Amino acid sequence: MEVALGTERVARLLQAVQEWYGLANEAELARQLGVSAAQLRRWRRSGWIPLGMLVRSCPEVPWYRLVGEELLAVIVPRTLLPGWRPTPELPDPAAPIPPLHASSALGDADRRKLMEWMLWAREFDLAMIRLYRQGRAVGGVFAQMGNEAVAVGTAYALRPTDALFPLHRDIGAHFVRGQDLDALVATHFGRVGSLTRGTDGTVHYADPERRLYGNISHLGAMLPVAVGYALAARLKGEDTVVLTYIGDGGAQTGEFHEAVNFAAVHRLPVVIVIENNQYAYSTPNRLEYACTFQADRAVGYGCFGEVVDGTDVELVYDACRRAVERARRGDGPTLLETITFRMRGHAEHDDASYVPEVVRQYWSARDPLERYAGFLQERGIMSADQLAELRERIRRTLREVMEEVLQRPYPHPEEALRNVYL
């Protein structure tokens, strides 16, 4: 059976065969495939090719990589940044930077909000980094810089009655969800007013009122809980979609598999965002998994998958909105892989010297905030002055709240015993 792959893909597949067997020309390639040179030309021209026959004639070629990738790209759509290449290859910093996607579901007021929340996330990081360097932060500081468009774009696709299970780099999602700034800051500094009563320095809290359930530190362990929440909501007859996140490292745990499989079997209303920021601590993608895209696994699980450029907030929003709509309709889970870059180390103690300079260079020219600020200015939605003013207002508010919270005492030690059961 001939499959329509398009002329470019057909050319790539034939080239792969030629290279694999070291064939010198078209005549040798035709002989290897057992077809005439005219037939070969017809395939090249039409973009149609009998894939099964091709695979059977050349069994030594690692088709699981080549054909898998080519065919999966049709089933699991990808919208990628030019010049980005899956590891172990390096990106091309000279590649063009395309204009951002404009969602037809968003108006100017939405766009200003998206920008504001991304700025809150960025400025929150910068303030925490500054305090860490001054020795005033408690514990580690896990910057999320580079992930703003993912956290904000996905969280914005939810209704308030939906549930959100963010990860350690999703502070933007807490802002979208309307989390109280004072409480968030107090939580990070472990002071009175902390959402974890001072027992933790990051976002391991649950806020049932906002349907916001902060992360479980053991990577992967949050997914079965999020999926269980979706099952419970269905059993209670609630119209609730659950959005949760996992890193490129965390997605390689056993619990990821169990959760996605269970959600797919029961067609549960779950959206699982795989935040691929290229690294898990110092481990690059190429040492984490052997497939090209993690969302391609959706085919194996029997659910939906999509891969998007994670620096394009409206692209992320649209992909997540589609996934949320499918989930709400009863069509089951989606694996949404967002390709981003962790612009800092794993935490502030890590200088990330293991990241090649060219990778850093490529992504710094594709900063999600700068891209969106440019988009808003070009469209006359926000001027450079308005953007600078907004940034200044956020900085000032953060400085004031942080200074005030840092004056507060730590909670009474007995607080640590509350909600502990032996």
Helix/strand/coil (H/E/C) assignment for every residue in the chain = CEEECCHHHHHHHHHHHHHHHCCCCHHHHHHHHCCCHHHHHHHHHHCEEEHHHHHHHCCCCCHHHHHHHHHHHHHCCEECCCCCCCCCCCCCCCCCCCCCCCCCCCCHHHHHHHHHHHHHHHHHHHHHHHHHHCCCCCCCCCCCCCCHHHHHHHHCCCCCCCEEECCCCCHHHHHHCCCCHHHHHHHHHCCCCCCCCCCCCCCCCEEHHHCEECCCCCCCCHHHHHHHHHHHHHHCCCCCCEEEEEECCHHHCHHHHHHHHHHHHCCCCEEEEEEECCEECCEEHHHCCCCCCHHHHHHHHCCEEEEEECCCHHHHHHHHHHHHHHHHHCCCCEEEEEECCCCCCCCCCCCCCCCCHHHHHHHHCCCHHHHHHHHHHHCCCCCHHHHHHHHHHHHHHHHHHHHHHHHCCCCCHHHHHCCCCC
Please state, in angstroms and rounded to a whole number, the distance separating the CA atoms of residues 156 and 211.
14
Residue number closest to ligand TPP, CB atom = 247
Minimal distance, residue 289 CB to Mg ion, in Å: 12
Binding mask 241-260 for Mg ion (x = CB under 5 A): ------xx------------
Binding residue for ligand TPP (CB under 6 A) from 174, 342, 366, 391? Answer: 342
CB-nearer residue toward ligand TPP: 250 or 310 = 250
Q: Which of 320, 333, 391, 324 is nearest to 127 (CA)?
A: 391
CB-nearer residue toward ligand TPP: 143 or 376 = 143
Residue list 272-311, contact with ligand TPP (CB under 6 A): 275, 277, 279-281
279-280/270-276 β-pairing:
unpaired
248 binds ligand TPP (CB under 6 A): yes
Q: Is 88 exposed, middle or buried (0-12, 13-18, 19+ CB in 10 A)?
A: exposed
Stretch that binds ligand TPP, among 62-70, 182-190, 193-201, 271-279 (CB under 6 A): 271-279
Stretch that binds Mg ion, among 88-96, 269-277, 310-318, 329-337 (CB under 5 A): 269-277
Binding residue for ligand TPP (CB under 6 A) from 169, 197, 211, 297? Answer: 169
Minimal distance, residue 151 CB to ligand TPP, in Å: 11
170 binds Mg ion (CB under 5 A): no
Stretch that binds ligand TPP, among 57-65, 95-103, 248-256, 413-421 (CB under 6 A): 248-256
152 binds, among ligand TPP, Mg ion, none (CB under 5 to 8 A by kind): none
Residues touching Mg ion, count (CB under 5 A): 4
Binding residue for ligand TPP (CB under 6 A) from 146, 172, 247, 305? Answer: 247
169 binds, among Mg ion, ligand TPP, none (CB under 5 to 8 A by kind): ligand TPP
Minimal distance, residue 279 CB to Mg ion, in Å: 5
CB-nearer residue toward ligand TPP: 63 or 341 = 341
CB-nearer residue toward Mg ion: 199 or 278 = 278
219 binds ligand TPP (CB under 6 A): yes
219 binds, among Mg ion, ligand TPP, none (CB under 5 to 8 A by kind): ligand TPP
279-280/78-79 β-pairing:
unpaired
201 binds ligand TPP (CB under 6 A): no
Minimal distance, residue 318 CB to ligand TPP, in Å: 23
148 binds ligand TPP (CB under 6 A): no
* Contact between 319 and 76 (Cβ < 8 Å): no
Binding residue for Mg ion (CB under 5 A) from 280, 320, 373, 398? Answer: 280
Binding residue for ligand TPP (CB under 6 A) from 172, 250, 305, 368? Answer: 250
Interface residue list for ligand TPP (CB under 6 A): 169, 217-220, 247-250, 253, 275, 277, 279-281, 342, 346
Interface residue list for Mg ion (CB under 5 A): 247-248, 277, 280
